[in-house]
Amino acid sequence: MTRVAVIEQDKCRPDKCGKLCFKVCPTVRAGRETITFDPPSNKAVIHEPLCEGVGICVKKCPFKCITVVNLPEELDKDVTHRYGINSFKLHRLPMAKLGKVTGLVGQNGSGKSTTLNILQGNFKPNLGKYDNPPEWDEIVEYYRGKEIQNYFEKLANEELKTVLKPQNVDKLPRIVKGNVSSLIQKVDERGLKDEVKEIFSLDKVWERDISKLSGGELQRLAIAATIVRDADVFLFDEPTSYLDVQERVKISQYLNDMKSPEHTLVVVEHDLAMLDYLSDQIHIFYGEAGVYGIVSHPHSVREGVNIFLDGYIPSENMRFRAQPIIFKKISMEDKISSHRLAVRFSDMTKKFDSFELSVKGGELFKGEVVGIIGPNGIGKTTFVKMLAGVLEPTTMVEPIELLVSIKDKDETEAIKEVEEEAEKKIEENLIVSHKPQYLYTESEQTVEDYLREINPVMLTSGWHKSEIIEPLKFSKLLNSSLCDLSGGELQKVSIAACLGRKAHLYLLDEPSAYISSEDRVNVAKVIQRVVNFYEMPAIVVEHDVMMLNFTSDRLIIFDGNPSVKGYSSRIGSLQYGMNEFLRKMEITFRQDPRTFRPRVNKKDSQLDKKQRAEGKYFIVA
């Protein structure tokens, strides 16, 4: 077992810590240059061959930028790529096979996007030799005898055409200008323009400017623009983010239909139900986020998903998570809310040039979470923005009524004093904390400064740290700039910022986008704890059925004609709402009897037909 300390360079700030890691390192005191400071940047560098991984530096570092890495010695030699000294390194690569869909699953920051960039040919794997990168002939020789050797030979000889559907589709309007039709026609190399227009429901937005598209519409456009390319290898980075359940199943079915002896498909996916539904084999990514990532050997779909949930790979005798992810057996019985009113909103409408929305009024209770589910482009985000005050309703019968005041439940007098003056000013007004759907930012503000701006006591309050920051696992990001965060990291910081405010109503629009399966479970738990603690309601827009069911007490269903007209149901029971929604989507779900994870029934399968006949579109184990 190799045990060394690794520094994340972008977080290292020795000028502000007095070079504590250097002072406390026992091997440095013994006269070895285990830790030195790079003159140009004045940042600490750990020379791994000299490091014994004692771990004192980890405990002393105030910026949490040092991690002790434990790796089997054979893996230490099997390095696919490393960005630089003390930087992230990737071990192994998945075996993408012709005619198959290879699914990749793992925590954020474990190397999935790095893998896709290597497979696309954006950069060559340097085999850990970041200071003297190898050429293609050395790379091909290194992988001789392995399945990926042939892949790299073709990539080196430019005999392989690859195309990647990127992760952050919300950045598309900033990169591509024009309307939907012009983009598809520009990249259509296979003559599939009319086919993708119909299959991906782009006909209603065909002439719409890309900057006016919703998250789901941008996702469908990005997938369509990828599929129409004449490529040998199709790489999809999180193709179901922002899509509703029906669209996720439709996309999965289409990707399965693309399988042929000429095509290789690789998909990164965090929705375990969809990963299960579309994949032929699965590789699990594990390791230390931002430090190193390891790619498992291939597994069958059911085995691979269950191994990922268990956190243990029997064939490699490797435990990569201390505790398994446990999905509780779902009860479709109504959850009990407090029945103490907090907020009441009336019927409202919103009209745009080409879309109109009608929402029925409702009452929100203390400590409850109301889920919102429905097709894309139907007005869910518009409704949330009206509640948040971002959009002005065209009509509203009565103003939103506040029926409760914020209770000060923080645990120290110091915190109470900081917030006392602000609370005097807001007690009579509705305070809404809103996490929007789109999170793109160019701000160079650090995460720490941003959170302190949101709530001055957020990083000093023991409750905030134990109930929000630590469960969301982003404490190492506090000194990072917002603009440098990945999609998943920015999502978790934004969720923490939303829940860290004191408010009468919390609004979270698609909090599961870009974050891993295990983090989705943590997010769901954090939302429940915050609303219960402060006894305030929350509204969550979500497309992940399991997360929505795990989080919500009641449900609002949105329906209508996407991109044309939308309307909402009254707030109703979870049991009725979930069944009604899935009935309209013509999809049936079941729970795995061993792990209780959600699984989509194959259309017209025996179980699918049975559940339809019984009117049970989500059946529990």
State the CATH number of the domain containing residue 291.
Answer: 3.40.50.300
Q: What is the pLDDT of residues 533-571, one digit of tens each?
A: 999 999 999 988 878 877 899 999 999 998 899 999 999
36 falls within a domain: yes
Domain boundary among 294, 319, 344: 319
What is d(CA 390, CA 273) in angstroms, rounded to the nearest whole number? 34
Query: 257 and 131: one domain?
Result: yes
433 falls within a domain: no
Q: For residue 532, give the nearest of 365, 326, 382 by alpha carbon.
A: 365
Query: 175 and 33: one domain?
Result: no
Q: What is the pLDDT of residues 121-179, one digit of tens each?
A: 999 999 999 989 999 999 999 999 888 999 999 999 999 999 999 988 888 898 899 99
246 falls within a domain: yes
Which domain CATH number covers 60? 3.30.70.20
Query: 223 and 242: one domain?
Result: no
Q: Which residues contact 537 (CB under 8 A, 6 or more apart)?
A: 342, 343, 364, 365, 366, 367, 368, 369, 370, 505, 506, 531
Domain boundary among 268, 284, 319: 319
Judge residue 280's burial from the number of C-beta atoms within 10 Å of its C-beta, 0-12 exposed, 13-18 middle, 19 or more buried: middle
87 falls within a domain: yes
The reported pLDDT for the residue numbered 27 is 84
Query: 184 and 212: one domain?
Result: yes
Sign, Cα dihedral of 275, 116, 12, 415: negative
Query: 227 and 240: one domain?
Result: no
**What is the 3-class SS of 440-453, one letter each residue?**
CCCCCCEHHHHHHH
102 falls within a domain: yes
212 falls within a domain: yes
Q: What is the pLDDT of residues 555-565, one digit of tens each?
A: 999 999 988 99
Q: At what angle do helices 574-585 and 245-257 cross, to 10 degrees?
A: 40
Instruction: Domain count for the chain, please give it.
Output: 3
Query: 11 and 116: one domain?
Result: no
Domain boundary among 188, 213, 231: 231
Query: 174 and 84: one domain?
Result: no
Domain range spanning residue 245? Answer: 76-161+233-319
Q: What is the pLDDT of residues 447-484, one digit of tens each?
A: 999 999 999 988 888 899 899 998 998 887 888 889 88
Q: What is the pLDDT of residues 376-432, one digit of tens each?
A: 889 999 999 999 999 999 999 999 998 877 655 544 444 454 444 444 444 458 899
Query: 175 and 29: one domain?
Result: no
Query: 242 and 289: one domain?
Result: yes
Answer whether residue 94 shows pLDDT above 60.
Answer: yes
Q: What is the DSSP string of 273-292?
A: HHHHHH-SEEEEEEEETTTE
